[in-house]
Structures are given as structure tokens and as C-alpha cells.
Amino acid sequence: MAADFTKEINSCIDVLQKGGLILYPTDTVWGIGCDATNTEAVKKVYDIKNREDSKALICLVANDAMLERHVDFVPELAYDLIDLSTKPTTIIYDSPKGVAKNLVASDDTLAIRVASDKFCQYLINKFKKPIVSTSANISGQPTPRTFDEISSVILKGVDYVVNLQPEHKNAVPSAIIKLSNDGKVKVIRE
């Protein structure tokens, strides 16, 4: 592992542990991230995005085991979707647990994605907690496809900007699928 990769991970963990915000390349688009278990940090994300906290955010986990620690019940179909999807896929689960209350939607659901890129997987594994992942834009503005499209408000509002290029060059938001415990499946975003 390159020294700069390790340095970036350690810098992010330092900021995350202090309740700060990071701007980082994800398996989709550049994201604003924080400790998903820290209510104050999650509030900062809503503030920087100028977004109501009734609009839920996505949370990233490193692997299936971490997913299972933060959801009461993972439907069998979720594992198939994670394994078979050709692009990053976020799944909305019922009854999340062990995360900040202001991260959970009013219907007691949470959108979680198992990270598929090396940087996010290493970061989350080393941090040992899920992190928030929301596109690096002000609410209502277009999602930036490249680092150069990120607004100065976002850049100034975070505590740390990761100095690495995204692993994937075709930056597109993830697919979002809602899997209810009663077996209902709903595609929110393809």
C-alpha cells in the first residue's frame, strides 16, 4: 500500500474521530462523509448541504458483517443484489441500529451501501464504524461529476479533503433499492 494512501486514511480517521467532515472519493461520486454514529457530525453534514434532516443520507459500510451489525434484519435478496450488481447499489433497510438518530429516516429506514472501492473499504475497516456518504453538493444543486465541479462552499465547509483520485472515472450516483422486511422491493433510483 502506498505511503500517501495510508497517510490519507490516517488523516481521515483523525478528522472522523473528532466529529469532523471529510470530502472523499467514493465508489460513485465525491462524497461528504462523517462518523455515522455521531449525531453532531451528521448535523454538520445537513448544515453544509443546506438540507433538511428529514431527507435521509446514505451510509457506507466496509462489508456484510458491518452491515449486519447496523440493521436488525438483512433480507436474503440484499446479498444477491450486492453480489450481482454491475454498479454500486445502495439498499434501504428497515430498522437500522447503532447509528446517529438523525441519520435514520422518519419511517425507521436507512440507506446503506457496502463500499466497493479500495479506499472506502480500507478507511471504514480501519475506522471500525460506518461513515456517511452524501454527494458533495448543496441540496438542490447538480451532483458534481468531478472534483473541479465541487463548490467552494463545500470545500471550505469540510475539515479535510482527501488528496487521492477516485478509483472509478465514470462518476455516477449509486442505484437505490428499498427492501422492506415484508418482502416488498422498490427501485428508487436506477
Q: Tell me how far apart the alpha carbons of residues 90 and 94 are, in angstroms, rounded to a whole number.
A: 13
CB 129 within 8 A of CB 36: yes
Q: If DSSP codes are grouped into helix, strand and coil, which group holds residue 110?
A: strand
CB 34 within 8 A of CB 21: yes
In the chain, the number of structural domains is 1
Each residue's pLDDT, cut to its tens digit, for the chain (190 residues) gives: 566 889 999 999 999 999 999 999 998 889 999 999 999 999 999 999 998 876 779 999 999 999 999 999 999 999 999 988 888 899 999 999 999 999 999 999 999 999 989 999 999 999 999 999 999 999 889 988 889 999 999 999 999 999 988 776 667 788 899 999 888 989 998 8
User: Which pLDDT does position 2 carry in this prediction?
Assistant: 67
User: Which pLDDT does position 1 carry in this prediction?
Assistant: 54
CB 20 within 8 A of CB 159: yes
**Would you state the cell numbers that stand for residue 127, as one nine-digit string?**
475506522
User: Which pLDDT does position 87 carry in this prediction?
Assistant: 86
Residues, the chain, total? 190
User: Which pLDDT does position 189 carry in this prediction?
Assistant: 87
User: Which pLDDT does position 128 carry in this prediction?
Assistant: 97
Q: Tell me how far apart the alpha carbons of residues 44 and 4 are, in angstroms, rounded to a whole number.
A: 27
Q: How many CB atoms lie within 10 A of CB 107?
A: 10
User: Which pLDDT does position 169 carry in this prediction?
Assistant: 67
Domain of 131, CATH number, reads 3.90.870.10
**Burial (CB count within 10 angstroms: exposed 0-12, middle 13-18, buried 19+), residue 12:** buried
Q: If DSSP codes are grouped into helix, strand and coil, which group holds residue 175?
A: strand
Look up residue 33 and give its DSSP letter. E
- The whole model's pTM is what? 0.93
- Range of the structural domain that residue 84 is part of: 3-189
Phi, psi of 144 (to 5 degrees): -70, 130
Q: If DSSP codes are grouped into helix, strand and coil, which group holds residue 83?
A: helix
